[in-house]
Structure 1
């Protein structure tokens, strides 16, 4: 199955794993200890992140290290960024509406 960055960030557990690995390199076991779900479930999430290219595994003796590949997150960032202006405009419009209502109420008091 071909996977992409959007599948990687679609699940909240995977987003939490990305956040953890962005802060530090951890072994698979260290990642699993941070969650209250089973080790096999964490392994599945890590496998998906690896297939999406977001993480890379590196063998260190008997341990497998999980290394973040931040450049792989850029397409998701760029996709989300295109909607930034849209939401800023809507929030500004709502703020202007609230200010108009407050001004009107203050004049009526």
Structure 2
């Protein structure tokens, strides 16, 4: 299992475009291959209508890493069952670069 955090921005046309300036997206990806996991994470963010701006965090994770975090463990287990879990931590809207 791999964990990533990406800095992302909503794409124009996405409902979030007029609501949020961006987000840090935490991604739990159930894959044995790092490159495959990262591609799944990037495609997942894209499918939600967001653009990846930068990768902030990237490492393998294990269930025992969440001994003190029920929320993290829930995401880990969801990724075990469904292949992935995405959590968007949004921040306030500011001027878009194309404005």
Normalised to the residue count of structure 1, the TM-score between the two structures is 0.29
Q: Which protein is richer in helix relative to its size?
A: 1
Higher relative contact order (CA 8 A, sep 6+): 2
Q: Which protein is richer in strand relative to its size?
A: 2
Bigger Rg, structure 1 or 2 = 1
Normalised to the residue count of structure 2, the TM-score between the two structures is 0.31
